[in-house]
Amino acid sequence: MDLEIQRPVYLGMSIEEIEMERVPSIRMATSIKAHHPTGVLDYTVNDLWFECSEWEKFIRNVRKLYSLEEAEEASLSSMSEEFNLLVRVSENKRVADFMVSLNERGLISVKIETSVALDEVGVIADSFSNAKFW
């Protein structure tokens, strides 16, 4: 994996392809694993594209959340909008939302919402910063 976050939910991402000619973007294999009281949700997909500019914007906004600056949220969506990671402040708490939806190919819609400690926000920021592929 090129990027791995263990908490609050496991997120693993591996680069599959880089496109710098048309729209600078990266294709990622992505895995999410969340333990819950009745089992484990395990989601893996091999074809998610992310714009490089959105990746960088996400990093900037997560860093602002970590340093307690003005940002209220940091969001990273795949170009197809089938995957979204949202780190936000809600009622003075940091929350991470992992959302997956595949409505056109089948009816799958999952949202995992979990509290995030300040040090976990830092880990998210560092993990995405260290995984810049261009």
Structure tokens at 103: 């409505």
How does DSSP assign 81-127, residue by residue? SSEEEEEEEETTEEEEEEEEE-TTTS--EEEEEEE--HHHHHHHHHH
Q: What is the pLDDT of residue 25?
A: 94
pTM of the model: 0.84
Tell me what the mean pLDDT of segment 92-109 comes to.
71
Tell me what the mean pLDDT of segment 2-9 comes to.
88
The CATH code belonging to domain 3-130 is: 2.30.31
With tokens 């599959």, the residue in question is: 16
Cα 102 to Cα 123: distance, rounded to the nearest angstrom:
28
Q: What is the pLDDT of residue 71?
A: 66
Percentage of residues in the chain having pLDDT higher than 90:
31
Q: What is the pLDDT of residue 119?
A: 85
Domain boundaries, the chain: 3-130
